[in-house]
Amino acid sequence: MNRRIKTILISLVMLPLAVLAQTNHQLEVGKNLDIFNALYSNLDLFYVDTLNPKQTMTSAIDGMLRSLDPYTEYYPEEETKNLKMMLTGKYAGIGALVKYHTRLKHVVIDEPYEGMPAAEVGLKKGDIILSIDDSVMTDKQVSYVSSHLRGDAGTTFVLKVKRPSTGKEMKFKITRRNIKLPELPYWGMRPDSIGYINLNQFTEGCAKNVRRAFVELKQQGAKGLIFDLRGNGGGSEMEAVDIVNIWVPQEQTVVENRGKVRQANRVYKTRLEPVDTVMPIVVLVNGETASASEITSGALQDLDRAIILGTRTYGKGLVQVPLDLPYNANVKITTSHYYIPSGRCIQAVNYKRNGKERIVDSLTNVFYTRGGREVRDGGGIKPDLELKNDTMPNIAYYLSAGGLDSTEVLFDYVVDYLDHHPTIVPAKEFHLTDADWQEFRQRVIDSGFSYDPVSQKQFDELVKTAKFEGYYEEAKEAFDALQKKLKHDVASDLDKHRETIQQILELDIISAYYFQSGSIEASLYRDKQLKEAERLLKSPEEYRKILEPRQKK
């Protein structure tokens, strides 16, 4: 009885304190809003130049949001289409990837999408965009050109390009239409009755497409599945739940949202009949697997329904909700953390007012899968089997990454190759000949291509440190010998890393003929992580041993 009386007394004391804290918070909010309004009014009245209200206010809003997390974003009216595209994967345009060509100082067509207006009218990789209707596109950035290529579905415009192979200027009349980026760029059967599905985004309706692809793979005889979420940055939380539902029974909790306000709290459970609850599954992940991808892979891990293979995922355990603002503006606000079936949140970074703090492994907590396997929160999803893919050599990165190579020698070689080869063999059979490689190698050398080797940068830092600490002169002979060995030699670096660079070339060429699906199909034949997944699916005992139940500590 005494304990109950004490509890009631404590509650009576704490309730007014909570109300007082909330009242003080509201007073602080009101006071600072008054200060902000007064400040802007005085700036607008007295500042030496006339203020642009929209620009000034947007800067103030962006500054405020920068003190939070990078996922809480403001979208003024003219940018709400970007938010809609992110949520749905849809936009109205021509359906092509464009890039800025550093040497030509023009935006060019990089990759027309299969079955889209750009491909249908005959635009090709390398076409130089000169004008869109009456707007000249010389010296314009990608964002500017893209905004002019997009518009309302059904509107028509004239695109003027220059084709490098002929030097001729060409005009195309194109009608914009709704474009939905393919969330399933490739799926199909692998050897030994193993199905493969590549999902690159969680947009509206993707779960139905994954379910349909999986059913067809089963009909083709699939006895095991590789579900590839590498590079998938996420999207819709509900789609993630429905995808897990393909392999997990009804009424299973997949994810729970917990926020500050009651409206942000929600539990998502599977709601449909599953397709298959026993087929062995390996999910491929990497450091770019994030958000809804982590809900999917994490839930399948926590429920002991799949083996996760690859490298640790990104670690985004936050949920955003879009909200309407006056004058057709929008804001995407982080409203909650999400928790997967074991009860863990895998958020890797703690965002504070004065910066961000990455959660170290030693501060993470232990949770358990349904079968008793140990897993941890914080820092993303740790794979059951960690396996890194081969790293890209620095020279290959500089040749292939947009904007790093001012000569654009790799891009231009591919454009010329397309011009001289109207067709190629099927994607999985295509390889460049030795003569093709030698031609490309010589082009790179003749172009004046150069890059910054990482080893040289680290050597320069070591020299600075040695001079600062006073032992450089004593070791100068050793430093000179080491520098000679680190000498930058493009020709020898090309020979040393031929296999990787040639694969990049081949995949770029294949994508021009067989689009993204062909490029992915061809890349799988040299994919170390995929081969390990296939080996695991062909080893039932090893697969079961990884997932076997263990006694919780």
Known catalytic membership, residue 133: no
- Catalytic, 291? Answer yes
Residue whose pair of structure tokens reads 């009755």 in the numeric block: 193
Catalytic option among 291, 447, 519, 523: 291
Q: Cβ neighbours of residue 339 under 8 Å, at least 6 residues apart? A: 255, 256, 257, 258, 317, 345
- What are the start-end ranges of the E strands in 82-232? 90-93, 96-101, 106-112, 128-132, 135-136, 156-162, 169-175, 177-180, 186-190, 194-198, 224-228
State the pairing for strand pair 106-112/96-101. Answer: antiparallel
Distances, alpha carbon 520 to alpha carbons 73, 433, 481, 536, in Å:
33, 21, 44, 21
What is the per-residue DSSP string for 122-151? T--TT-EEEEETTEE-TT--HHHHHHHH--
Q: Name the active-site residue from 125, 140, 316, 382.
A: 316
Question: Which residues are paired to 253 by β-bridges?
Answer: 269
Cα radius of gyration rounded to whole Å, the chain: 28
CA 380 – CA 317 distance, rounded (Å): 8
By C-alpha distance, which of 503, 296, 538 is closest to 389? Answer: 503
Q: Of the residues 110, 302, 405, 508, which is catalytic?
A: 302
Tally Cβ neighbours within 10 Å of residue 315: 23
- Establish whether 316 is a catalytic residue: yes
Any idea of the CA torsion for 410, 414, 419, 423, to the nearest 10 degrees?
Answer: 160
Q: How many other CB atoms are there within 10 angstroms of residue 525's CB atom?
A: 12
Token pair listed for 179: 């474009």
d(CA 544, CA 373): 13
Please report how many Cα atoms fall inside a 13 Å half-sphere around the Cα of residue 193, on the Cβ side: 9
| Residues annotated as catalytic (active site), given as ranges | 291, 302, 316
